[in-house]
A and B are shown apart, each in its own frame.
Chain A
Amino acid sequence: MKKAGMMGNLNGIVFFVALLVIFSLEMFGKVVERGVGYYLKWENYSRPQLGRIWEKDREKIVAQKKIETLLSSLNTQETSSDSIQSFKELFEQLNPAVPQMVSRKKFLQLYFEFPEQLSRKIISPYELLEIDSNRDWQRVLLTQLGEWITVSFINNQNYPIREVFMSADGVGENPLVRDIFRGTLEEAGFGDNSILPFSDFMRVLKTLGSETQETLFPDPSWFFSKNYHVTRVGIKETPNSNEYPPPARMGVEYQSDFFTEVLILPVPGHISENLLSQIEIPVIDEAAETVSPFGDFQGESN
């Protein structure tokens, strides 16, 4: 009984001492706070990112993603406009929802490098010079509103220095627009019976007036500047044309450093009639002799 009483007292003392130790450790060493603090620190990364600071972080990420999306969309637009090879392509990419922007440099490249009549339909080179004279012209914006296309020459404030209005129908379905086809004349749809060597074509071209020559054939400087060598020419009537005399399409095949390409040119009806009357392309019979489109016999005569 006495022993049990002593044990009880001892337990009480131990408990009291333990409490005293814990209290002292807490008072002087802040063990509870530190223990909890370090425990929470240890399992920090298993907890969710909650609260204002993380919300702010998420909002920053959302903002950054939006910025990246916008930038990427703008870059795509810029890259796609940089890769455009002709005005025809430029106008084809245009739709009412998506205005097209090209730099002054790109516009001039398309205007002067590609030998097509559409350039002159947009604006004359003299007017371009005038626009450029105040050194303010930065870019060209093409917008489509209904059936009208607006070509705006804009300054660095995005204000249009000059606006040109064109009919979308006229541009989209204009048979006079020139094009480049990568491949041979045959692959471009010119039949064997519509193809002749370039030297033969030149003989006919020389007989035409200078104005007709310029209308019919692109500026030779274009071929020289790009180191293109013309090989053959093909001529065919435009199918399903209601016009009379019917217009034609001419293909000028040339060799570039790496490819064979065909410059496809529209030939107005009155020129095509004149041209085709001088060119008689025979139906080629391989078994028969070769006949020049000009009627001269090239092979042996029977």
Chain B
Amino acid sequence: MMALSLFCLGLYLDLKDDLPQLPDSLEKINLSLPTEIYSSEGNVIKVLGQRHPVSLEEISPRFTEAMIATEDSRFYSHSGVDHIGLARAMLKNIRNMKVSQGGSTITQQLSKNLFFSFERKWERKIKELLIALQMEATFSKEEILEAYCNQVYFGSGAYGVEDASLVYFNKRAKNLTLLQAAMLAGLPNSPNSANPFNNFERAMSRTRTVLNRMVRSNFISSFEMEQALETDLELAPPRIQSNPNQYFIQYVISNLENEYGKEFVHFGGLKIFTTIDSRLQQYAQQAVLTHMKSLDKRMAPREDEELLQAAMVSLENKTGAIRVLLGGRDYSKSQFNRAVSNNRMAGSSFKPIVYLTAMEVLGISPATVIRDEPVSLEISPGKSWEPKNFNDQYFGDLILKRALMNSLNVVSAKLVNDLTPPRVIKTARQMGLTSPLGENLSLALGATGVSPLEMAGAYSVIANLGILNEPYLVERIEDFRGNKLYEHFYFGVQRFSQKSIYPLLDMMRGVVEEGTGRVIRRMGFSHPAGGKTGTTNDYKDAWFDGFTKDMATVVWVGYDSNISMIDRNGRGLTGGGAAAPIWAYFMKKALSGKSQVNFPVPEGIRFVDVDSQTGYIANSSMKNTMTVAVKNDVVLTLPPSTDSVQGYSPQEESAGEPLDNLETIEEHVLPEL
């Protein structure tokens, strides 16, 4: 007896310093104000730290009876420790030589949930027990039971009985039926495996066990149990598991955590008003899922069964507000946010940056003639690079606009070679790209990692005629009293003159009308738009980046494992085939019912019809002509043989394939949406 007392005293002295202080009131645990995140339409899209604490009077007595019968049948008679339960658990644990059974009372469970880690250690168990004893000496049974009911986890993201009632049965805790109460009471023990949304049979089996225990504890009769089992459970439909806003929400949270600290976001009781447009986000997810399913069917079967992934970002040009940010197909399956990750190559979608730099620095225009032919570029003494066009097709002389419309790699490489990569990077930075960009010639083909968000920002500069509005996520943050803690202001900066940007914008309209991106027209998207496809080496990434006057939208498609996207016929997926249809489907829905808005033409720009091969001002005898937008001071020449063309490279006889063949570039069988 003495030895036992001394042992207990020694144990207490050893643990004494680790025993936590108890708060004055158990209500304290429910005082945290939730932080609410709103969409741009003013709807709550996420609540952080939400609790619905209720008093015992607001909980169905059936539930508390079921809970007591299941978790702690001698709750009202013990003082924190159930001797019988504890002895049984100890015997079992000694037999197994490990802590496998708790024998914890409701008070002990509450003690553990409020103060201790969930690791199974003897030491933790004793501390939990001591605090349970103190709780019993400090608070009434009702206070303990109420606190327990309000903080225990019921699965499906529901903490507390009120929240659980709403999640599982869409009703208040006070209105639970016997069957529903029994089902909920069975959940804290196994919130995932006995979750009716995941495994209904197991959940019902657990419910029967709870009802049996209620009968044994004399809370109900066998007859009542049978009657309850015959009633309808009235299970509510599960909350949408894959919230399309989830990638955006997580991005907002992580940005705010970095800026202000985790505590501010999760415990500040804030109202965070974001830029996301839930309606557009829904369209984006629809577009991605529909097209991805269609692509899944087309793809060659893979052993690892990895599915294609996609990301989409859409910005409002005049403000930079991020209206859509989708980081993958399904957040519940993969939380990796591909919309903000810069680990994928931009491919040809980077070329507009090269062309803009060339027009600014080299003084060339969309009508300047350049030769598309196999070329060898020196990258260091004795080392050269031979860029190749898609399908190894070369077209000889052609104007710059045509080269961009058809995404000719050789032309882009020649331009970067003349410009030098650092000069192109300077333009990219001016357009808002922040990712590290490799200072090498392959920049011409977009061999550099960028994020869809960055690309959307850069393309919105083109749509905005040179004004950069930094993409942003949060309009304002208020505290729970409505005091403004943060508000976004627009700092639109004119990074390029309108006259410099418009010729590029017009070239990119050509991409959509007659170039590699014309699939969007074939899919019925009729608003004035510009864009650019992007396909990286070996079909690892497919992009379509495009814009209208009001929105810039970027779509990326690829495998997470960065392998080639090859279909059953052995053909690779391109930006035009894999990403552009998603873009078109989304933009059609997003702009449905809205009037078509043309891009304003700045002063100092004129439109001229030119021959797309020679760059001469067009006449009726010419076959391949196109309209180019050039600055007023650009000199264009008439075709007479005496005149020379004001071109970037000297006129030479075309040695390439006929321009008619350009139609076939990057075009593949397109899936129907």
Footprint of B on A, CB under 8 Å? Answer: 19, 30, 33-34, 36-38, 40-41, 44-45, 47-54, 56-57, 59-60, 62-64, 66-67, 70-71, 74, 99, 141, 143, 145, 150, 152, 154, 157-160, 163
Contacts and interface: CB of A to CB of B under 8 A. Distances in A.
Interface in B15-47: 16-23, 28-29, 31-32
B79 interface: yes
Contacts of B266: 59, 63
A64 B490 contact: no
B263 A62 contact: yes
A45 B116 CA distance: 18
B489 A158 contact: yes
A159 B318 CA distance: 9
A146 to B, nearest CB: 10
Contacts of A70: 485-486
A235 to B, nearest CB: 43
B137 interface: yes
Contacts of A66: 260-261, 263-264, 268
A40 B130 CA distance: 8
A153 to B, nearest CB: 12
Given A49-B20, A52-B115, A53-B115, A41 B137 contact: yes
Contacts of A56: 29, 32, 267
Contacts of A48: 17, 20-21
Nearest to B29: A53
Contacts of A45: 21
B483 interface: yes
Contacts of A41: 22, 134, 137-138
A51 B20 contact: yes
Contact of A47 (B20, B31, B263, B488): B20
6 contacts: A44-B134, A48-B21, A52-B115, A59-B267, A63-B261, A159-B490
Interface string B70-113: 00000000111100000000000000000000000000000001
A38 B137 contact: yes
B133 A36 contact: yes
A296 to B, nearest CB: 60
Contacts of A59: 262-263, 266-267
A33 B133 contact: yes
Given A30-B78, A37-B137, A74-B484, A63 B263 contact: yes
B18 A50 contact: yes
B268 A52 contact: no
A67 B268 contact: yes
Nearest to A148: B493
A52 B267 contact: no
A157 B475 CA distance: 9
A268 B77 CA distance: 96
Given A40-B137, A63-B266, A158-B490, A30 B79 contact: yes
B127 to A, nearest CB: 10
Given A60-B267, A62-B267, A63-B267, A37 B80 contact: yes
A160 B130 contact: no
Contacts of A47: 16, 19-21
Contacts of A67: 264, 268, 479, 485
A15 to B, nearest CB: 8
Contact of A34 (B32, B79, B113): B79
Given A33-B136, A34-B137, A63-B264, A40 B489 contact: no
Given A63-B263, A63-B264, 15 more contacts: A33-B81, A40-B134, A40-B137, A48-B17, A49-B20, A52-B113, A67-B264, A71-B483, A152-B489, A154-B490, A158-B488, A158-B489, A160-B490, A160-B492, A163-B492
Contacts of B116: 51-52
A159 B20 contact: no
A174 B483 CA distance: 38
Chain B interface size, as a band, is: 35 or more
Which one of B1, B115, B264 has the highest number of Cβ atoms from chain A below 10 Å of its Cβ? B264
B321 to A, nearest CB: 10
B487 interface: yes
Contacts of A49: 20-21
Nearest to A150: B491
Interface in B353-387: none
Contacts of A19: 1
Contacts of B28: 53, 57
A71 B485 contact: yes
Interface in B390-406: none
Contacts of A34: 79, 133, 136-137
Contacts of B479: 67, 71
Contacts of A143: 489, 491
A53 B489 contact: no
B608 interface: no
A143 B492 CA distance: 11
B267 A154 contact: no
Contacts of A51: 20, 114-116
Interface string B227-268: 000000000000000000000000000000000111110111
A82 B20 CA distance: 49
Contacts of B29: 53, 56
Contacts of A40: 19, 130-131, 133-134, 137
A141 to B, nearest CB: 6
Lowest 3 CB-CB distances: which A-B pairs, in order?
Answer: A37-B137, A51-B115, A40-B134
Given A47-B20, A54-B21, A63-B266, A158 B487 contact: yes
Nearest to B268: A63
A44 to B, nearest CB: 6
Nearest to B133: A37
A101 to B, nearest CB: 8
A59 B260 CA distance: 13
Nearest to A15: B1
B322 to A, nearest CB: 16
Contacts of A154: 489-490
B319 interface: yes
Nearest to B16: A47
B111 to A, nearest CB: 9
B80 A53 contact: no
Contacts of B16: 47
Contact of A50 (B20, B138, B487): B20
A150 B493 CA distance: 10
Nearest to A49: B21
B342 to A, nearest CB: 26
Contacts of B137: 34, 37-38, 40-41
A36 B489 contact: no
